[in-house]
C-alpha cells in the first residue's frame, strides 16, 4: 500500500492497479477453490513484505495473516495458532500480539472488538493494523475440551493483521467468523479460519478494485466503520476542541469502556483531518518517519482534481510521524512509548491516568463526555472562539435535524446534508482556513508580545493562542516548508463563519453549550428517582400522620362529648331528687351513685384533654419529621451540585 504518493503522478494508475489486482486474483483463484489442503502451499512468505519500496507495497496483499490468541491462566495471553503458519515462528510478533489482541477489560463483555497498531519489521516495514474479536465460552459447553482447559470459562481472540486500516469491512467478516468458530464448540477445529484467510483477501480486493490506489484521502473502504455523525452528536462543541488538540500535537489520552467504542472514537477524530486516516503508516512507533521522507513541494494546482488540491495543501499532515505515537488501545507493556513528544492513545486501565512520568495533557473521559486538562493554559488555547462556536453550532444543528434513531450513522432520507461525507467536507473547509491563516501569520513581521489582536482578524477568529501554538509544532514547520507561499492567495485565510457572529448570538451559544455540558437529563435521572422515592415515602408517612390525626381528632371529639353527656345525666338526676340547686352539678363526679354496681373509675376531663394534646404533639412531630427528611434530602442534593462546580471549572 502506497501512502507516500507525492510522486504518484509519475506512476499512472492504469499502469499499476489492474496489473497487480489481476495477477494476484489469478494466483489466489485456484487455492481458494481447492479448499484448505490446496491453500497451504500458497502461503505468502514473510520475506515478500520486507521491502520498503513504494512500488513493491502496491503488490503487497492487504491481509498479512490470521491468528488465534488464547488466554492461559498460568502464563497469560499467547498466540496458539497463526495462518500462514510461518507467523508462529516470528518471535517479534509473538511478543507483541497477545497483549494487543486481548487488552485489559476484554473479559467484561461477551463479545468485544479491539483495534491496534503494531510494528513488526520482520513481517512488514511499516505499521501493521490489527483488529481482534474476543469471545468467551463455558468450558462445560465444549465438545472437545483439551487438557489445557482448567477453568470454567475459555477466552480467545481471533485476529486479522492488515496493511491498511480498513476496519469496517474487516469487522463484519471477523465478527461472523468468530461467532461461527465458537458455535462449533470445538476450538481445536481451525479449518474454518484457514478458509477465512483464503476468501478474505479476495473479497477485500474485489470490494476496492474500482477505487484509486494512490488517492491521498484513500477510498471509501477506509471510512467504513467510522461514524462522524455519532461523534458530533455526542461530543458537540468539544469535537472541534479535540481537532485543535490533535493539530497542536498534544498528549491525548482517551479513557473509558467498552474497548471498541474507545477505539472508534479516536478513529472518528482522525477521520476529521483531511487525508490523515489513509496516512498512518508511521503511527505504530515514534521511530518511524517514512511519511516525511522524499516529499516535495507541489508546483501546480488543479482545483477540480482532489489529489492535486491535497498535494498543494501539503496534506496529509505528518501528525503521527517522527516522535509521535498513535495506539487506539494501549497495553501496559507499551507505556514506556509515551515518553515521546506527542501521542494519541486509548486505555481502559486507570494506571495511565495516574502516571506522572508520562502525564497526558488532556484526558478524554468517555463516561462523562468531558475533557480534563492538566494545563489551564492549554485549555484556554483550545477554547472555542465566538466564530468557532457559531460554525460548530451550524454543524451540530445539521446533525440534529437529520438524526435518525433507527440508524444513527445515516441521516434521514439518506441525503448528502448531514452525512459523514458532508461533515468531512465541512471540517476540511475549516482546517484549510486554519492552515492558511497560520501560514499567513508566519509570513508577517514579528510584533511585540503585548500587541493587541484585531478581534475581526482571521487569527483571532481561529484563536490567536491556538495559531501560535500550532506554528511552534514540528508538523507546522514541515508543512510550511512543503507548501508554496501563494497558498494564502489561492486558499483564503479566513474563518468559514467570519462576519456572521454577534455578541447576543454568541451568548446564546455559550448558554446552549453550557446546558448541554451539564447533561441535565442524565444527571437528574437518579435525582428524580430519589426525589420520587422520597415523595413516595413522605406521602406514605403523611398518610399515616393524617390517619393518626383523624383517629386523635375522633378521640378528642369523644373526650369533649363524654363530659357533656355526664353533666346532662347528672343534672337531670339532681333536678328530680333534689331542690333546684346547680352547685352540685358544677363538675361531674367521679364516684358511682350509691347502690350502683362496682365499675372502673371513669377518666376525668383533665386527663382526657392531656391525652389528646399529647397525641396531637406526637403526630405533629411525626409530620414535621417526614417533611424534614424530604427537606434534608433536597438540601444535600443542592450542596452536592454546588460542590461540583469548582471541580469542573477546568473541564469543558
Q: Give pLDDT tens digits for 385-418.
A: 999 999 999 999 999 999 999 999 999 888 999 9
Does residue 217 carry a pLDDT above 90? no
Can you name the residues that pair with 346 across neighbouring β-strands? 254
Confidence class for position 621, pLDDT limits 50, 70, 90:
low
Query: CA angle at residue 329 from 325 to 331, to 5 degrees?
Result: 90
Distance of CA 81 to the CA centre of its chain: 32
How much is the mean pLDDT over the chain?
A: 78
Alpha carbon distance 61, 202 (integer Å): 10
For residue 651, the 8-state DSSP code is: B
Give kind and range of the element (H or E) at residue 253: strand 251-255
Tell me if 93 sits within 8 A of 81, measured CB to CB.
Answer: no
Q: Give pLDDT tens digits for 120-154.
A: 999 999 999 999 999 998 888 888 777 677 778 88
- Of 71-80, 309-318, 435-444, least confident by mean pLDDT is 71-80
DSSP 3-state assignment of 79?
A: strand
Does residue 95 carry a pLDDT above 90? yes
Please state, as a whole number, how many other Cβ atoms lie within 10 Å of the Cβ of residue 266. 22
Average pLDDT over residues 607-620: 62
Q: Which residue has the higher pLDDT, 514 or 382?
A: 382
Average pLDDT over residues 197-208: 80
Tell me if 266 sits within 8 A of 104, measured CB to CB.
Answer: no
Alpha carbon distance 490, 131 (integer Å): 41
Handedness of CA 168, 169, 173, 178 (dihedral sign): negative
Tell me if 322 sits within 8 A of 289, measured CB to CB.
Answer: yes
Q: Which residue has the higher pLDDT, 124 or 303?
A: 124
Buried residues in 556-584 as b, exposed as e (16+ CB within 10 A):
beebeeebeebeeebeeebeeeeeeeeee
The whole-number pLDDT of residue 235 equals 96
Can you name the residues that pair with 342 across neighbouring β-strands? 324
Buried residues in 202-220 as b, exposed as e (16+ CB within 10 A):
bebbeebeeebbbbbbbbe
Does residue 340 carry a pLDDT above 90? yes
The whole-number pLDDT of residue 497 equals 86
The whole-number pLDDT of residue 584 equals 44
Does residue 338 carry a pLDDT above 90? yes
The whole-number pLDDT of residue 620 equals 59
Residue with C-alpha cell 441525503?
Answer: 415
DSSP 3-state assignment of 267?
A: helix
Q: Give pLDDT tens digits for 629-651.
A: 555 555 565 556 555 544 444 44
User: 557: which residues sit within 8 A by CB, 6+ positions away?
Assistant: none
Q: Give pLDDT tens digits for 242-273.
A: 999 999 999 999 999 999 999 999 999 999 99
Does residue 9 carry a pLDDT above 50? no
- Within 338-449, where are the H helices? 351-354, 376-381, 386-401, 420-443
Amino acid at each position: 500500500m502506497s501512502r507516500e504518493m507525492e510522486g504518484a503522478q509519475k506512476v499512472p494508475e492504469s499502469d499499476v492497479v489492474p496489473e497487480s489486482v489481476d495477477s494476484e486474483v489469478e494466483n489466489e483463484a485456484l487455492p481458494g477453490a481447492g479448499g484448505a489442503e490446496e491453500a497451504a502451499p500458497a502461503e505468502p512468505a514473510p520475506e515478500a513484505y520486507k521491502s520498503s519500496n513504494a512500488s513493491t507495497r502496491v503488490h503487497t496483499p492487504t491481509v498479512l495473516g490470521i491468528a488465534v490468541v488464547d488466554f492461559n491462566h498460568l502464563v497469560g495471553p499467547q498466540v496458539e495458532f497463526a495462518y500462514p503458519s510461518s507467523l508462529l515462528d516470528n518471535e517479534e510478533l509473538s511478543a507483541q500480539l497477545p497483549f494487543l489482541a486481548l487488552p485489559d477489560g476484554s473479559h467484561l463483555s461477551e463479545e468485544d472488538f479491539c483495534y491496534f497498531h503494531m510494528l513488526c519489521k520482520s513481517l512488514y516495514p511499516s505499521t501493521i493494523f490489527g483488529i481482534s474479536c474476543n469471545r468467551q465460552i463455558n468450558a462445560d459447553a465444549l465438545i472437545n475440551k483439551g487438557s489445557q482447559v482448567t477453568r470454567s470459562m475459555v477466552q480467545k481472540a481471533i485476529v486479522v493483521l492488515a496493511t491498511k486500516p480498513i476496519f469496517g469491512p474487516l469487522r463484519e467478516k471477523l465478527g461472523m467468523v468468530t461467532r461461527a468458530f465458537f458455535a462449533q464448540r470445538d476450538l481445536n477445529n481451525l479449518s474454518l479460519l484457514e478458509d477465512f484467510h483464503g476468501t478474505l483477501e479476495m473479497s477485500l480486493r474485489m470490494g476496492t478494485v474500482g477505487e484509486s490506489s494512490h488517492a491521498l484521502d484513500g477510498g471509501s473502504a477506509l471510512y467504513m466503520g467510522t461514524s462522524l455523525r455519532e461523534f458530533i452528536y455526542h461530543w458537540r462543541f468539544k469535537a472541534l476542541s479535540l481537532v485543535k488538540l490533535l493539530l497542536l500535537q498534544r498528549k491525548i489520552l482517551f479513557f473509558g469502556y467498552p474497548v471498541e467504542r474507545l477505539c472508534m472514537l479516536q478513529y472518528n477524530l482522525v477521520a476529521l483531518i483531511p487525508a490523515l486516516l489513509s496516512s498512518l503508516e508511521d503511527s505504530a512507533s515514534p521511530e518511524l518517519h517514512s511519511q516525511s521522507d522524499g516529499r516535495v513541494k507541489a508546483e501546480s494546482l488543479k482545483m477540480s482534481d482532489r489529489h492535486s488540491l491535497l498535494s498543494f495543501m501539503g496534506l496529509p499532515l505528518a501528525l503521527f510521524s517522527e516522535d509521535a505515537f498513535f495506539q487506539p488501545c494501549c497495553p501496559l507493556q507499551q507505556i514506556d512509548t509515551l515518553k515521546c513528544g506527542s501521542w494519541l492513545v486509548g486505555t481502559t486501565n486507570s494506571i495511565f491516568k495516574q502516571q506522572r512520568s508520562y502525564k497526558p495533557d488532556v484526558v478524554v473521559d468517555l463516561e462523562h463526555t468531558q475533557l480534563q486538562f492538566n494545563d489551564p493554559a492549554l485549555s484556554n488555547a483550545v477554547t472555542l472562539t465566538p466564530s468557532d462556536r457559531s460554525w460548530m453550532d451550524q454543524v451540530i444543528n445539521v446533525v440534529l435535524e437529520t438524526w435518525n434513531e433507527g440508524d444513527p450513522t445515516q441521516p434521514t432520507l439518506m441525503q448528502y446534508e448531514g452525512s459523514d461525507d458532508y461533515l468531512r467536507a465541512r471540517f476540511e473547509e475549516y482546517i484549510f482556513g486554519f492552515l492558511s491563516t497560520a501560514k499567513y501569520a508566519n509570513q508577517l513581521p514579528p510584533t511585540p508580545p503585548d500587541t493587541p489582536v484585531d478581534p475581526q482578524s482571521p487569527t483571532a477568529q481561529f484563536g490567536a493562542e491556538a495559531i501560535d501554538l500550532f506554528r511552534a509544532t514540528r508538523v507546522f514547520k514541515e508543512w510550511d516548508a512543503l507548501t508554496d507561499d501563494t497558498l494564502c492567495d489561492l486558499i483564503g485565510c479566513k474563518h468559514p463563519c467570519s462576519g456572521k457572529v454577534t455578541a447576543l448570538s454568541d451568548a446564546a451559544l455559550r448558554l446552549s453549550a453550557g446546558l448541554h455540558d451539564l447533561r441535565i437529563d442524565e444527571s437528574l435521572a437518579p435525582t428524580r428517582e430519589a426525589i420520587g422515592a422520597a415523595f413516595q415515602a413522605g406521602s406514605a408517612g403523611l398518610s399515616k400522620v393524617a390517619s393518626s390525626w383523624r383517629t386523635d381528632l375522633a378521640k378528642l371529639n369523644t373526650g369533649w362529648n363524654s363530659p357533656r353527656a355526664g353533666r346532662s345525666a347528672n343534672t337531670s338526676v339532681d333536678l328530680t331528687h333534689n331542690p333546684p340547686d346547680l352547685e352540685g352539678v358544677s363538675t361531674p363526679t367521679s364516684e358511682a351513685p350509691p347502690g350502683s354496681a362496682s365499675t372502673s373509675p371513669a377518666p376525668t376531663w383533665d386527663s382526657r384533654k392531656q391525652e389528646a394534646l399529647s397525641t396531637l404533639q406526637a403526630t405533629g412531630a411525626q409530620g414535621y419529621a417526614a417533611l424534614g427528611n424530604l427537606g434534608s434530602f433536597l438540601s444535600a442534593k443542592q450542596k452536592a451540585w454546588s460542590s461540583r462546580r469548582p471541580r469542573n471549572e477546568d473541564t469543558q
